[in-house]
Structure 1
């Protein structure tokens, strides 16, 4: 999805997931999808690269940081809002050296992410080398984008969410690794709920998250 095609392809959706991945292929299309979802109140969930893309989009279009990008995609970007983790800078052998495995995150009290998890300390699995650049923390904190979860030492941003939006939330983690059919990851559950609410708002005959789906189907 490129910028000019976003409206035609995304306007009828009730939810958008921007998944993880590597490399620059398709990134600008993901940025366009993030922008469209943010500007048109479409629920959007970002996972790993998805969080990085949503950070880039917000930096460019809401904070006015022209050319903001990740150094993975543009080493000369004037605003590297996503950058290589400090622990990865001296790594030359890339095999198996990413930030891998389960890591604990401290969630911001009262945030939507904390409400979704029902607790303020959570553990999710990771697989990445790039992270939110802490040099831009203040710029984001002064905006409506909430840094709603971070590593216990406060060095790494792990979750973000947008105020005054039905659902615009992302995590640097991979909650899908621990999600199960009978025990869905909290962010997946809340995302689906937000998508159902949007669908019900556009078509009152459809059930919303607050409806008894069994009754609605009968």
Structure 2
């Protein structure tokens, strides 16, 4: 449930991110042209600040499960991608690993969304990956090419909220716990059989700020059965 403290930190993150987005767009032409290693200080500074801003006001402990979205930009086509992932120990170490791998190929970390601590982040990542695949045709595993991190982050925030709501609900009947049905909580049109219909990236509006309510991220995905129990959808 939102609190005054949560609302303040959401406002502060969104305020800081406006400046970071402006810097990201200003640096993009240089990244598109290709930059030699090491990257100039202003790009390295941006990479660090987008991460610190993404976790501002959230649990400062580097341990604990989280899911994350990282946007990288660089040369060639596609010149940008969003990496989805989860971590159960140290998010800073994981982000640094991705930065190092991308840097070798001329791509810089230019934006980020990182959740607060969540239970069972691996299953939550699987559910979110399936939802993103429904909406974004250009994907390779957990990499979403030419993706808009704002729309992806709005869906991610809504997915986390649905996950928490499901876990906070009534205890399951005797006979074994059921995995949360995140797809149903997000208002997805679910029916038996078939694969997800591509919706051309229509995830609703909004920015990375967690103000986006679950309803803002709702969209129809015909025949997409999204139980987190197996987290499976046709690629």
Q: Same fold (TM over 0.5)?
A: no
Higher helix share goes to which structure? 2
Higher strand share goes to which structure? 1
TM-score of the aligned structures, taking structure 2 as reference length? 0.28
